[in-house]
Structure 1
Amino acid sequence: MTASGSAQGAYRSRTPYQGQSAGQAANPTTDQLPVHAELPQASYPATLPQPPVRPRRRGAASLRSFAQPQQALTVPIRGLARVAQRQLAQVALTRYQQRLRQKEETHEILAFAVRLAETMFHYGADAADVDAAVVTVCAVYGIQDVEVDITHQSIMINYVSEFDEAAGRGQLPEAGGLGAEKLGLTLVRVVRSTSENYRALHQLYRLVHDIAQGRVTRGRAERRLAQVNAQKKPYSPAVLLVWNLLMAGAFTLGVGGSWRAAVTSLVVFTVVNFVLVWAGRLNLPSYFMMAIGAATITVLALLVSDSAGWFYTRGFYVSAPHIVAAGLMMLLPTFRLVSAVQDALHGFPLTAAGKFVITGANFTGIIAGIAVALTVMNYFDATSLDVQGSVFSPPPLWVSIAGMAVGSAMSAAAWQGSAQTICLTLLVSLLGQAAYYGVGAVMGEAGGRLQVLAGATLVGLSAALLGYLLHSPASIYYVPGMMFMLPGLTIFRSSYLVLGGEDVFAGVQGLTLAGVTVLLMATGIVCGTYVWDEITRRLRLRNSHQ
């Protein structure tokens, strides 16, 4: 093999990640394709189409080459290429090619790891899970001591290797002890969009598990990653609308609304869905989307519940606070809120800070939308919503449990969860509510915060168990499964009191209590996952000693 052949091989090995977009998997068959078939158009010189050339006979071609003058050499041959025919040079050339291939393989492994991390982050994985996945994949494919830095919108992988240590372990042939030659590589990928897709996230976790078990080669792993990115979401917009309608009705019943309020929530959210679809075509930020959704829900709820309105005069009595509360449970960024607290507890402060900022902006948008809706309704002398006087009478226990469980299951469906995920989320919600109401029955009103901690811990423990058994992320079970504990109404009322200036002290006190509740929810979920990790670690140690 000549030096030019080595350079061509190096050029070809870099093609899986040159010119690729974020999250796009490499072609696993690049070593079998010509160079012009592997690279995008921008990576190689374009040529005009030529007419087909008739094959010439071998003898005629040799005679023609003998008769024609030779082209003069204008570029001098240097280095190993000049003495490639010598025996010692051939040994050095072989070693050079092996070291070059080692560097190229290292870069390819890191490139695949950063694409996998970007895809997981895009589909809603936690920062701790992304960090563990990158380290695991790199270790399985032969790269140790990888450093991963994750912020809210970027993923950076840093690696520095010492080739003399690798040679001493037999990985390289040049174990001569000539000093440490370090290769430093840093790959960065920015993630500016997210899309909750529980089915795709489950498939990515299965891929990481198969890689960790040594069942998948890197070429096959790249193909599976490309398939996850190329597949369509399981549910169409029409089916998603059905899931959201069922979620709205179930949450309305769960917070104590009547069947009339549940039916009204179905109609209200249908209108809200089409309004948000129309607003989404304008590519508005999430702040404006939250404001538009909250304003639409509030206006429709007040119109239906107006004592001088058409519905009220015909005996159709509904409570606007129940409808608004159910709508807020669907609009509140519960995933980002709990995920931010989890990232802070896991040691990712920058990621948590970014999520807190976006969550705070979304909360502000919701309050701004409600405030605008109330102002407009008051201007037209319509009924208003008394925030301080909105006290919900609790529904029958079985109605609350059933409504919250069905609403949690429909939340998993709205986030593109499979049928198995929907059923298991229903089970996780029921287990969490059993712990929540069980502690409440034993301790009474004094165990309010302990109820949240117990329910969240059991939700996290059961979700971690399901994730361990099914090789899936625990978040697809505990995020929708813990929604029955979300203090949506408290956050709304307290924020409105603070921003409106009606009772700032009561608003601050309510926000503090809501913040403690959210912190306890995240703490209980993380505690449950850690408890299960410790159980599995001890089981592995016991099995290894037997």
Structure 2
Amino acid sequence: MIPVVPPARPNKAARNVLRKLVQGEAPPTAPMNIVDRLAGSPYANFTIQVGKAEESARKTIDFALRLAETMFRYGAGALEVETSIIAVTAAMGLRNIEVDITNQSVIINYAPRDAVPITLLRVVRSWTNNYAGLVEIHELVTDVASGGVSRDEAHRRLDVIIKKPKPFPRWMVSMAEAVFAAAVVGVIGGTVVGMIVAFMTILLAGQVARVLGKWRVPDFFVTAISSFIVTMVAVLCFMMEVPLSPSIVVAGGILLMLPSGRLVSAVQDAINGFPVTAAGRFLSAFLTFGAIVAGIAVGLVSSAVFGADRLNVAETISGTLPLFWVLALVGLATVAICIAEQTSVKLVLPTTAVAVIGYVVYYYGMEFGLGGRFAPAVAAVVIGMLARVIALRLGAPQLVVAVPSIIFLLVGLSIFRAMFVMTLTPEDSVTGAVGIFNALVVILAVAAGVVLGDNAARPFTRSSGQKDRRRNRRR
């Protein structure tokens, strides 16, 4: 007799595994939930506040727009603004929103099912340096996302942040800008005389710029007039036979005018998926470069009219100080730029430490033959990682530590030299074009390195996210 074998029972678990391997968990055309944009950010583990969110949606969106406007005014990037808006609105019960950020405007659309949609727009028309305010806004968004702050309390705290005076007075900022210029002149190879001249030049140009700002003169002409003053100081030093290079005087005077941070932020916005904002910042940065070149050109032409010799203010400068003194000057310059950017007092020393470590990586990268393009990228990766870890430990956004720490790479100075050569020396226009290309490559490498370091440091900051998750569960 032939034994009868019962039919095999279908294995449901095996079929599910096979279906997932072949088909996937979600349809390939399913739209991405906007809350998923919080993955990897400090606000990934938000807590939804229980309440009638639909009835107070307009107030929540008004608060989110005001928060975004303040962050843009204080110097935040587009990604930080977007994640903050999503975290705040999601924590307050509004998940079906869309956020659109284009250069200096923020649009929030809320379209609940079977209800009238709400679309609000806010335009940012002024900017100021206030990294300390960004730190406090980061703490506010963190508290809102954790469920510990109601909307009314968040409104009150945002009002306090906006009205709170900056940590450093104006006279200290002016002195810090001058100290920064003098220190960086020492880093790039200037003498003590050059550092003193740069210090006095920045003080003079800064006072003139403040007066022009009170008269509501456009920034383009303020920058051009300031660079004209710097050039005339270089011409006077040359005519008086002061023992220093004219290029040192000009470099020290225009360092603060160079939009190095804006260029890096533009590349970061492009990498993070904000091309319109990146294009706007690129245009603004190159207009600033054009203003600087125009002011220097007018100064050189004016000096030639009065019989002075034509100066070469774009020659390459190489440092000659020992590494110990260079590191001391880098630390001093970082402290000064932190004061100029109105960084929170608790972040000044950590930011200085990150900048010094980054410069050491850059220095030895050049010594080991990595080259002028790869060495800044490696240093930027290290800075991006350290900035994320330290900033989140101290309750601050990553850019507050990262941006002042990359100033020593002087990405804007190379673009200025290339634009100057291409504009004012037509016979070397090819050299200037190649210089601009090389400078843009370095800027892209630095910005990409900072973003890569920020993403690479996420596993090291996961512990704080787990603590937030456990605290949210207890609520």
Identify whether the pair has TM-score above 0.5, normalized to the shorter chain.
yes
User: Structure 1 residue aligned with 2:399, among 475, 481, 493?
Assistant: 475
RMSD over aligned CA atoms reads 2.1
Aligned partner of 2:62 in structure 1 is 111
Residues 1:509 and 2:434 are matched in the alignment: yes
Aligned partner of 2:302 in structure 1 is 376
Cα shift at 1:104: 3.4
The amino acid of 1:487's aligned partner reads V
Structure 1 residues 188, 397: CA separation in 2 closer, same or farther (over 3 Å shift)?
same
Aligned partner of 2:408 in structure 1 is 484
Q: Distance in 1 between matches of 2:457 and 2:229?
A: 43
The amino acid of 2:75's aligned partner reads G
The amino acid of 1:235's aligned partner reads F
Residues 1:150 and 2:75 are matched in the alignment: no
Q: Distance in 2 between matches of 1:376 and 1:186?
A: 54
User: Structure 2 residue aligned with 1:302, among 222, 225, 235?
Assistant: 235
Aligned partner of 2:32 in structure 1 is none
Aligned partner of 1:125 in structure 2 is 76
The Cα offsets for residues 261-304 of structure 1, whole Å up to 9 and x where unpaired, read as 11111111121111112211221222111111111111102211
Misfit runs of 4+, over 4 Å: 387-391, 537-545
The answer on whether the counterparts of 2:182 and 2:198 sit within 8 Å (CA) in structure 1 is yes
Structure 1 residues 524, 198: CA separation in 2 closer, same or farther (over 3 Å shift)?
same
Q: Distance in 2 between matches of 1:544 and 1:373?
A: 60
The amino acid of 1:498's aligned partner reads M
Consecutive unaligned residues in structure 1, runs of 5 or more: 1-98, 163-180
The answer on whether the counterparts of 1:410 and 1:422 sit within 8 Å (CA) in structure 2 is no
Aligned partner of 1:264 in structure 2 is 197
**Higher RCO, 1 or 2 (CA under 8 Å, sep at least 6)?**
2
Cα shift at 1:441: 2.5
Cα shift at 1:393: 4.9
Cα shift at 1:537: 4.6
The amino acid of 1:429's aligned partner reads A
Structure 1 residues 539, 239: CA separation in 2 closer, same or farther (over 3 Å shift)?
closer
TM-score (norm. length: structure 2): 0.84
Residues 1:213 and 2:139 are matched in the alignment: no
Q: Distance in 2 between matches of 1:243 and 1:228?
A: 24
User: Structure 2 residue aligned with 1:247, among 155, 169, 180?
Assistant: 180
Q: Distance in 2 between matches of 1:305 and 1:183?
A: 70
User: Structure 2 residue aligned with 1:317, among 243, 249, 253?
Assistant: 243
- Name the SS for the 2:117 alignment partner: strand
Q: Distance in 2 between matches of 1:393 and 1:116?
A: 44
Identity score, percent: 34
Q: Distance in 2 between matches of 1:516 and 1:386?
A: 25
Structure 1 residues 331, 468: CA separation in 2 closer, same or farther (over 3 Å shift)?
same
The answer on whether the counterparts of 2:415 and 2:436 sit within 8 Å (CA) in structure 1 is yes
The Cα offsets for residues 52-86 of structure 1, whole Å up to 9 and x where unpaired, read as xxxxxxxxxxxxxxxxxxxxxxxxxxxxxxxxxxx
Aligned partner of 1:174 in structure 2 is none
The answer on whether the counterparts of 2:129 and 2:340 sit within 8 Å (CA) in structure 1 is no
Structure 1 residues 494, 218: CA separation in 2 closer, same or farther (over 3 Å shift)?
same
Q: Distance in 2 between matches of 1:505 and 1:395?
A: 32
Q: May I ask how many residue pairs the two structures share in their alignment?
A: 419
Q: Distance in 1 between matches of 2:63 and 2:467?
A: 35
The answer on whether the counterparts of 2:187 and 2:319 sit within 8 Å (CA) in structure 1 is no
1:359-438 → structure 2 map (5 Å cutoff) = 359-387=285-313, 389-438=315-364
Greater C-alpha Rg: 1
The amino acid of 1:503's aligned partner reads D
The amino acid of 1:116's aligned partner reads L
The amino acid of 2:120's aligned partner reads L
Structure 1 residues 320, 201: CA separation in 2 closer, same or farther (over 3 Å shift)?
same
Consecutive unaligned residues in structure 2, runs of 5 or more: 1-50, 471-475
The amino acid of 1:347's aligned partner reads G
The answer on whether the counterparts of 2:247 and 2:314 sit within 8 Å (CA) in structure 1 is no
1:271-286 → structure 2 map (5 Å cutoff) = 271-286=204-219
1:176-215 → structure 2 map (5 Å cutoff) = 181-215=114-148
